[in-house]
Amino acid sequence: MQTTDDLLRGMRVTVVGLGRFGGGVGAANFLASRGAKVTVSDQADEEILSESVAQLTDDSISLALGGHRECDFFDTELLVVNPAFPKTHPLLVEATRRGVPRTSEINLFLERCPADMVGITGSVGKSTTVSMCGEVLSRRYRTHVGGNIGRSLLGDLEQIGPEDIVVLELSSFQLEDIPLVGVSPRVGLVTNLIPNHLDRHGTMEAYASAKQNLLRYRAQRGVTLLNAAAPELADWPAVAGGRVEWYNLPDDEPFDLRVPGDHNQANAQAAWAVGRALGIERHDAEDALKNFHGLAHRLELVADHDGVQYFNDSKCTTPRGAEVALTAFEPETAVILLGGYDKGATWDELGREVSKRAKRAVCFGQTGPAIAEAIRTAGMEPFTADTLDEAFALAQREAADGDTVLLSPACASWDQFTNYEERGERFTQLAKG
């Protein structure tokens, strides 16, 4: 009997978007290993993409770099499109009009994964929840963690068995394409929904609809887990397949955690909800969560000297995320660094929360002036700077014994850095002196 992978043998496939951080590497390597004739198309040239090119494992993969060619979009049997590639790109629009089939890396995985899957999405808290969930489930199952966190799991398919569990972080960009295959993980969890990526989705309705694709195709044996403390999810059961359960209820017993903040308690309750749905005992979940040390760039303590602690929360790319980060510290003890690339967010509520909870604020980067104005309007006079280095120097000057210097920028990093990791690493270098 012919399998799905048999159909790939000899097929002409274009992987659209290799990415500087290997976004298309997993798809290209997987397709080539199944005998497809793979072309990788990317706007960036080979020098910029050198690290990703070096990770391609099959010499038969053709590279079309430094610009997209019509032939790679139109004269192909399948497009595998990187989630970050704009759906409005003229070549993709025309390919769709011509009926060229398309899919994505995560869809290739969803169609082939033999194990039960857990899909986790939301505006903030995804990565930490996914990592906590991986720790909890590993107490009983052989567990694989991937998706929007870490590397592609396509290359691990042969090592994933039907008795294993796969935990996937799924972004709105990835979930946009789920309708192409109509597959949802057995367990789907949503942390929250706040304004984010409006530069891509345009409206909150479109953003929410992309996230809801996680729920739409679940079989009857599946379960949807929704955060009871997120009122914006109140009507989401209407679109969910399978049964729906609420977690993070007011009377839920808290966990003893190493990581600070009420938001991490919510993340822990989410991980426990997944564990409970898949047969994990409470004491095993408690043990796993108690030993969870947190993730890099997520409210990460990176230095502690002269009585001042330095926390790297560079992964925070939304105003709400920065507001939540501030609640992890005593009022008027945090000097917060804010700013970066503009994703179309609004700053009024962030300005009010910073004015109410922070000791001082330093605003930098592309969005710095707008954030500073919102804080000023709320009653606090912020500092402003052009770069992160300048902002750090101002924050360090303002911090005294017992205070915290907190990088929780509320924005993407693309105005001055290639990604949030690079931004967080620079902050860490500065904090360590």
> What SS3 state is found at 111?
helix
Instruction: Spell out where 279-431 has E strands.
Output: 300-305, 308-312, 334-338, 360-363, 383-384, 404-407
Q: Does the predicted TM-score (pTM) go above 0.75?
A: yes
Q: Which CATH superfamily is domain 300-432 in?
A: Mur ligase, C-terminal domain (3.90.190.20)
Instruction: Evaluate whether the domain defined by 106-290 bears CATH number 3.40.720.10.
Output: no
pLDDT of the residue at 221: 80
Task: Please give the average per-residue pLDDT across 174-201, as a whole number.
Answer: 92
Give CA–CA dist 26/57, Å, rounded: 10
The alpha helices in 34-98, defined as continuous H runs, are 50-54, 70-74, 90-97
**More confident position, 291 or 366:** 366
Task: Please give the average per-residue pLDDT across 31-47, as a whole number.
Answer: 95
pLDDT beyond 50 at 119: yes
% of residues, the chain, pLDDT over 90: 85
For 29, counting Cβ atoms within 10 Å of its Cβ (0-12 exposed, 13-18 middle, 19+ buried), the class is: buried
Instruction: Evaluate whether the domain defined by 11-103 bears CATH number 3.40.50.720.
Output: yes
pLDDT beyond 80 at 149: yes
Quote the distance between the C-alpha of residue 54 and its chain's center: 25
pLDDT of the residue at 182: 93
Is residue 143 within 8 A of residue 280, CB to CB? The reply is no
Give CA–CA dist 43/215, Å, rounded: 33
pLDDT of the residue at 195: 83
pLDDT of the residue at 393: 98
Spans of all domains in the chain: 11-103, 106-290, 300-432
Pairing of strands 383-384, 360-363: parallel
pLDDT of the residue at 270: 98
pLDDT beyond 80 at 132: yes
Quick one: which of 284, 297, 330 has its CA closest to 128? 297
pLDDT of the residue at 259: 86
pLDDT of the residue at 255: 96
Q: What does the block give as tokens for 316?
A: 């925070």
Is residue 154 within 8 A of residue 342, CB to CB? The reply is no
Is residue 135 within 8 A of residue 205, CB to CB? The reply is no
Task: Please give the average per-residue pLDDT across 31-36, as a whole number.
Answer: 96
Summary mean pLDDT of the chain: 94
pLDDT beyond 70 at 22: no
Task: Please give the average per-residue pLDDT across 302-321, as a whole number.
Answer: 94
Asked if 106-290 and 300-432 have one fold, the answer is no
pLDDT beyond 50 at 2: no
Is residue 214 within 8 A of residue 119, CB to CB? The reply is yes
User: Half-sphere exposure of residue 166, counting CA atoms within 13 Å on the CB side?
Assistant: 29
Give CA–CA dist 255/181, Å, rounded: 38
pLDDT digits (tens, 9 = 90+) for 70-98: 999 999 999 999 998 999 999 999 999 99
CA distances from 150 to 22, 112, 167, 169 (A): 10, 19, 11, 9
Is residue 188 within 8 A of residue 212, CB to CB? The reply is no
User: 62 has which bridge partners?
Assistant: 39
pLDDT beyond 90 at 21: no
**More confident position, 148 or 236:** 236
> How does residue 1 score in pLDDT terms, banded at 50, 70 and 90?
very low
pLDDT digits (tens, 9 = 90+) for 244-261: 999 999 999 999 998 888
pLDDT of the residue at 370: 97
> How does residue 295 score in pLDDT terms, banded at 50, 70 and 90?
confident
Task: Please give the average per-residue pLDDT across 167-173, as a whole number.
Answer: 96
Q: What does the block give as tokens for 124?
A: 């903030």
pLDDT of the residue at 20: 67
pLDDT digits (tens, 9 = 90+) for 383-429: 999 999 999 999 999 999 999 999 999 999 999 998 999 999 999 99
